[in-house]
Structure formats: C-alpha cells, structure tokens
Amino acid sequence: MSDLKNRKRIGTSVDLEIWDSFEKLAEKTKIPKSKLFDEALEDIVKKYELK
C-alpha cells in the first residue's frame, strides 16, 4: 500500500548535466527537489498545452 496520497511515484532517466544543475539549484534554494520537479512539469505542460 502506498503512503503517497496526492503524489505519483515515477522512474525516469535524466541528462547528467541537467541533474547536476538541478541538485545544485535544490541545495542553493533549499527548495525540495519534488517541489522543483512539480514546477518544471507544470511549466512544460503549459508550454505544450493544446489550445
């Protein structure tokens, strides 16, 4: 049984340079990676959203 009520666990692969930058951003801003990832996904959905 999952302990994630409003979340979806996923698995993927990411370019190493992008991941390194992402980790540095999370550390510098003290924003959890999950929050940054949510924001990035939201931005990409808006960018490609069909109108």
- Full-model pTM: 0.79
Q: How far apart are CA 34 and CA 48, in angstroms?
A: 21
pLDDT of residue 3: 77
Tell me: the pLDDT tens digits for 3-34? 778 899 999 999 999 999 999 999 999 999 99
Give me the pLDDT at residue 51, please. 61
Long-range contacts of 2-11, Cβ-Cβ distance < 8 Å, separation of 24 or more: 7/34
SS3 annotation, the chain:
CCCCCCCCCCCCCCCHHHHHHHHHHHHHHCCCHHHHHHHHHHHHHHHHCCC
